[in-house]
């Protein structure tokens, strides 16, 4: 089984790539960077260079041994479409995901331009879900790139949501995740920004998942939106032996 995850919208994580660099405001207080520093201090081999980008050949085949079907977040500690990840390595990651279709793989990127540029060189079975991160309306263009990717399930992570994203074109999108920033120096989220997205999802018939209000103590602030937990998820593809 994959490494268990505390991320509310997935079950496991798989990190054939680790490390990254900041490219937009949502990256400022990166949880993965903080965690990588801790893992380096603990002597974890994959993080011996901290948060410098690295590909891990030894991790590539791990999902082949997982017998229980699960939702797997790919590269929770990096960005698969980072410009320094070789294209052939991305293709090999996709080859593994194609081989084990009992699992649902969720990929999330901020590098939507590179994703769009190479998407047609990759195989997109229904068990591979593709998403982009959007933190303010200035990054809504990432959704336009995502829309042209031939994944059967496309999603947006509005986390950390740092401002109103305004009117969104949700054509061809199947899922929206919304969350406030958590941890040290967390920037505040406003309820009206969340409601604005939720109402557009409702109008478009798109699954809406509210992850957290965030803050320094995200457990204390919780996940309730208007007294309800929103855990909507797109319909999963039946497991294929």
Alpha carbon 204 to its chain centroid, in Å, reads 21
At 92 the pLDDT is 98
In a domain, 102, yes or no: yes
Q: Residue 173 falls within a domain, yes or no?
A: yes
Query: Which residue range forms the structural domain that includes residue 58?
Result: 3-221
What is the total count of domains within the chain? Answer: 1
Tokens 């007294």 sit at which residue?
Answer: 227
Q: What pLDDT score does 237 carry?
A: 64
Q: Please report whether residue 183 resides in a domain.
A: yes
Domain assignment of residue 20, yes or no:
yes
Residues of the chain below pLDDT 50: none
The pLDDT of residue 2 is 73
The closest of 32, 40, 31 to 15, measured between CA atoms, is: 32
Question: Residues 114-155: pLDDT tens digits?
Answer: 999 999 999 999 999 999 999 999 999 999 999 999 999 999
Please say whether the beta carbons of 89 and 113 come within 8 A: no
The rounded distance, in Å, linking the Cα atoms of 133 and 206 is 17
Report pLDDT for 214: 96
The pLDDT of residue 241 is 53
Kindly state whether residue 235 falls inside one of the protein's structural domains: no
Going by C-alpha positions, the residue among 26, 153, 16 that lies closest to residue 79 is 16
pLDDT of residue 148: 94
Q: Is residue 30 part of a domain?
A: yes
């Amino acid at each position: 089984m994959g490494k268990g995850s505390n991320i509310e919208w997935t079950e496991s994580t798989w990190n054939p790539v680790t490390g990254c660099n900041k490219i937009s405001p949502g990256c400022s207080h990166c949880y993965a960077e903080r965690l990588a520093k801790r893992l380096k201090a603990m002597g974890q081999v994959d993080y011996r260079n901290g948060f410098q980008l690295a590909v891990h050949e030894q991790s590539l085949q791990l999902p082949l041994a997982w017998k229980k079907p699960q939702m797997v977040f790919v590269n929770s500690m990096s960005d698969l479409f980072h410009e320094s990840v070789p294209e052939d390595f991305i293709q090999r990651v996709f080859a593994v995901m194609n081989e084990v279709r009992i699992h649902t793989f969720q990929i999330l990127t901020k590098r939507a331009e590179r994703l769009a540029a190479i998407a047609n060189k990759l195989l997109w079975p229904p068990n591979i879900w593709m998403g982009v991160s959007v933190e303010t309306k200035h990054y809504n263009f990432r959704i336009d790139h995502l829309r042209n990717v031939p994944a059967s399930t496309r999603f947006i992570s509005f986390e950390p949501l740092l401002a109103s994203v305004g009117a969104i074109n949700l054509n061809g999108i199947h899922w929206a995740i919304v969350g406030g920033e958590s941890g040290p120096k967390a920037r505040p989220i406003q309820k009206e920004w969340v409601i604005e997205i939720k109402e557009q999802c409702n109008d478009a018939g798109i699954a809406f998942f509210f992850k957290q209000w965030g803050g320094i103590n995200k457990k204390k602030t919780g996940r309730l939106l208007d007294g309800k937990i929103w855990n909507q998820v797109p319909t999963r593809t039946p497991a294929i032996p």
